Amino acid sequence: MQTLHVELGDRRYPIFIGSDLDPQSLLEPYIRGKQVMVVTNTTVAPLYLEHYVTAIEHLGKTVATCILPDGEQYKNIEHLNLIFDALLQAGFNRDATVLALGGGVIGDMAGFASACFQRGVYFIQVPTTLLSQVDSSVGGKTGINHPLGKNMIGAFQQPQVVLADMSQLSTLPDRELSAGLAEVIKYALLGDQDFLVWLEQNMEGLVARDSGLLAEAVYRSCAHKARIVANDEKEQGERALLNLGHTFGHAIESYLGYGVWLHGEAVATGMVMAADLSQRMGWISLEDLERTKKIIQRAHLPVKCPAIPLQEFLAYMAHDKKVLNGQLRLVLMKSLGQAVISKEFDVELMKQAILANQEKA
Amino acid sequence: MQTLHVELGDRRYPIFIGSDLDPQSLLEPYIRGKQVMVVTNTTVAPLYLEHYVTAIEHLGKTVATCILPDGEQYKNIEHLNLIFDALLQAGFNRDATVLALGGGVIGDMAGFASACFQRGVYFIQVPTTLLSQVDSSVGGKTGINHPLGKNMIGAFQQPQVVLADMSQLSTLPDRELSAGLAEVIKYALLGDQDFLVWLEQNMEGLVARDSGLLAEAVYRSCAHKARIVANDEKEQGERALLNLGHTFGHAIESYLGYGVWLHGEAVATGMVMAADLSQRMGWISLEDLERTKKIIQRAHLPVKCPAIPLQEFLAYMAHDKKVLNGQLRLVLMKSLGQAVISKEFDVELMKQAILANQEKA
């Protein structure tokens, strides 16, 4: 087992990364009160809920559960309210701990509920997908969607502890494993060329779900994100680098309709477009662009999106939340393994980069 | 005009207190982005909304409004969502400012919405009732009710600035003015004997809505609360003193049904019960108890509640949120003008204090 500490001053917390982790001993120091609400979904509950409930009950805690339907379409205010209902029906108070057992949606909702219940109670994360292990484990972003926009309502809420157990990835569908790998690749592309080399050496093992390799990839990804977040907790500057591929990806997701492509799949193609634009601007070489596409393909991720009319693609990009005062800012690659935030790009080259990485209509 | 600074480190903010304040010049330095959402209710909107919208438009801002129905029964998640709807329909982003124009309910809801929208945008408070001027102006508590409990869901959110305009109190119903005075009296009773003497000298003028006296009372009350909150922002200890009269008052409000008595009215009688118990325990004199009742009566507030069966009264007290691990803690008066938090009280004397301050059945 490896331990990574996310350094946030008095909200410093550990991420435990390994296989067949023992929740009882690992969680014990981090559950402060007597009451624990485990929030999970209908997919994860039959697989792992009992394991955690039993472990926490052995610690002498009162455990209640809240099982939400599985899917991003339920990440809304109505289902958030079900968590509040469960907390109050259980008679929990401001001493309660909310434990998120599931992927990103569960983490976002349970985390936000913990931030608001009684104006803030304790929060523990047990991410059960690769994406949530490398993404939601670090950063403290929680929230829900609104019909007029994703993640529009939320809070910054840091957990007391995160348990990232590779054993739980054995039940993850292939597409979701690959979507998680897209975020892993993102960390390498945006800031760590050594990690890119490591991924090039180990991608087959990662796709084959080698626990040791997955743990190493999660550790390196979280460490990378933790460094950035520690410098920029409230997303004023450097943290925007984490959006590599996201503005293009957002347009793909929006055009196709959310849920058709997984977020990681859209980010994967979005990263190709960002790399392509960076190459057209002379920042990275054609060889670098090919390395980018290759590692994405080896993770079984798409490097092209379906044909999308350019005007629609651009309109969706302009609606992305990263637009500040009407000025589109993109995360591009100054060199392979070194991303920058830029509004100094050639719009014509951007259009070429988008069109070059679409299927023919 | 007087200015009080609430000292909270990098979240330090001013409260401007006076009559016929000019919102344009006072708000100008505190609205950071281009977008301002004014949240108000159907009672306040016809009186003061246009005044503020015009002032903010003169600052070159885009102003949108959200007018909620008036009443505590609307302080729920459905009506909170109307604020999010309005923000997103207006196309506002993380640069927006939410301005609360109204009493405590509007302040709580708009403040909570500002804490959650885009994970936190700017917040400005224009409290239009005496109660909200002396209570919600300081402390950063925001939130909504849940069918299973009041203020169960919320956030700590500090405003950029507060405008407390005494001119707006001219339209306040008499009962609401008195309910505000209950909280003013509370500050004197819990920690400031000089302020109590000042209130005894000036209560007639306050009830007659003398602007200068009201401004002085608001200033002194906010200064008192600000000192306590600065020491204890997240309500771990000293801040609990602000609950003088609240545990008894909570039982009265709960038994009668919320909205039958105003919160300030219940707190007034609750403070009499707390003083009565303090006297029975030998901490304050009979004369001190009479002074307490007298100042409350002179503010046109009730010193007795309707007859409530003792067992029900006690059960409601036990449900109060201030109960920690099943242990009832009361705010009592060690001496007049000096409150303490105590679990060392005689339960029999407490019962006597409750029964002595009820109407006969």
How does pLDDT run across A185-212, given as a tens digit for each residue?
A: 999 999 999 999 999 999 999 999 999 9
In a domain, A103, yes or no: yes
In a domain, B94, yes or no: yes
Between A and B, how many CB-CB pairs are < 8 A?
73
CB-based contacts of A175-179 (< 8 A; 24+ apart in sequence)? A175/A262, A175/A265, A176/A103, A176/A129, A176/A130, A176/A131, A176/A262, A176/A264, A177/A130, A177/A207, A177/A209, A178/A207, A178/A264, A178/A265, A178/A299, A178/A300, A178/A301, A179/A130, A179/A131, A179/A262, A179/A263, A179/A264, A179/A265, A179/A301
Residue B202 sits in the same domain as residue B301: yes
Strand order in the sheet with A122-127: A2-6, A13-18, A161-165, A122-127, A97-102, A35-41, A62-68
Say if residues B189 and B292 touch (Cβ distance below 8 Å).
Answer: yes
In a domain, A245, yes or no: yes
CATH number for the domain harbouring residue A234: 1.20.1090.10
C-alpha angle A347-A350-A355 in degrees, rounded to nearest 5: 130
Residue A178 sits in the same domain as residue A264: yes
> What average pLDDT does range B2-30 have in this prediction?
94
Last residue of a domain, one of A124, A139, A171: A171
Find out whether A108 is annotated in a ligand binding site: yes
* Residue A211 tokens, joined: 């626990």
Residue A127 sits in the same domain as residue A62: yes
In a domain, B337, yes or no: yes
pLDDT at res. B235: 62
Q: Which of B153, B236, B323, B329 to mutate to test the interface with A (most CBs of A within 10 A)?
A: B153
Q: Which of A11-20, A338-347, B321-330, B338-347 has the lowest mean pLDDT?
A: B321-330
Say if residues A15 and A224 touch (Cβ distance below 8 Å).
Answer: no
> What average pLDDT does range B331-359 have in this prediction?
94
Q: Is the pLDDT of residue B343 over 60?
A: yes
Residue B264 sits in the same domain as residue B213: yes
Last residue of a domain, one of B139, B170, B201: B170
Residue B163 sits in the same domain as residue B255: no
ipTM confidence score: 0.91
CATH number for the domain harbouring residue B13: 3.40.50.1970
Shortest Cα distance, chain B CAs vs residue A34, angstroms: 10
Counting residues of chain A whose pLDDT is more than 70, the rounded percentage is 97
Range of the domain at B203: 174-356
pLDDT at res. B324: 55
In a domain, A361, yes or no: no
Average model confidence (pLDDT) across chain A: 94
Q: Is the pLDDT of residue B162 over 90?
A: yes
Residue B285 sits in the same domain as residue B165: no
Span A89-137, pLDDT tens digits: 999 999 999 999 999 999 999 999 999 999 999 999 999 999 999 999 9
Q: Is the pLDDT of residue B101 over 90?
A: yes
Average model confidence (pLDDT) across chain B: 94
pLDDT at res. A233: 66
User: Binning pLDDT at 50, 70 and 90, where does residue B347 land?
Assistant: very high
Last residue of a domain, one of A171, A201, A234: A171
Q: Is the pLDDT of residue A77 over 70?
A: yes
Residue A324 sits in the same domain as residue A347: yes
User: Can you give B70-82 as a three-state secondary structure string?
Assistant: CCHHHCCHHHHHH
Residue B190 sits in the same domain as residue B146: no
In a domain, A136, yes or no: yes
In a domain, B361, yes or no: no
**Is A85 at the interface with chain B, CB within 8 A?**
yes
**Is A123 at the interface with chain B, CB within 8 A?**
no
Find out whether B204 is annotated in a ligand binding site: no
In a domain, B277, yes or no: yes
Q: Is the pLDDT of residue B325 over 60?
A: no
> Is A186 an annotated catalytic residue?
no
Span A221-251, pLDDT tens digits: 999 999 998 887 666 678 889 999 999 999 9
Span A4-56, pLDDT tens digits: 999 888 889 999 999 999 999 999 999 999 999 999 999 999 999 999 999 99
Residue A318 sits in the same domain as residue A185: yes
Find out whether B51 is annotated in a ligand binding site: no
> What average pLDDT does range B325-334 have in this prediction?
84
Residue A253 sits in the same domain as residue A294: yes
Residues of B classed as catalytic: 119, 141, 183, 225, 235, 239, 243, 246, 250, 263
Domain count within chain A: 2
User: Binning pLDDT at 50, 70 and 90, where does residue B202 land?
Assistant: very high
CB nearest A116 (choices: B93, B119, B154): B154
pLDDT at res. A327: 75
Span A263-292, pLDDT tens digits: 999 999 999 999 999 999 999 999 999 999
Residue B93 sits in the same domain as residue B107: yes
Q: Is the pLDDT of residue A326 over 90?
A: no
**Is B89 at the interface with chain A, CB within 8 A?**
yes
pLDDT at res. B259: 77
**Regarding predicted confidence, which is higher, B165 or A344?**
B165
Find out whether B321 is annotated in a ligand binding site: no
Residue A186 sits in the same domain as residue A165: no
pLDDT at res. B157: 96
Name the residue with tokens 């936190």: B120
* Cα dihedral across residues A215, A217, A220, A225: positive or negative: negative
pLDDT at res. A144: 97
pLDDT at res. A319: 75
Q: Is the pLDDT of residue A311 over 70?
A: yes
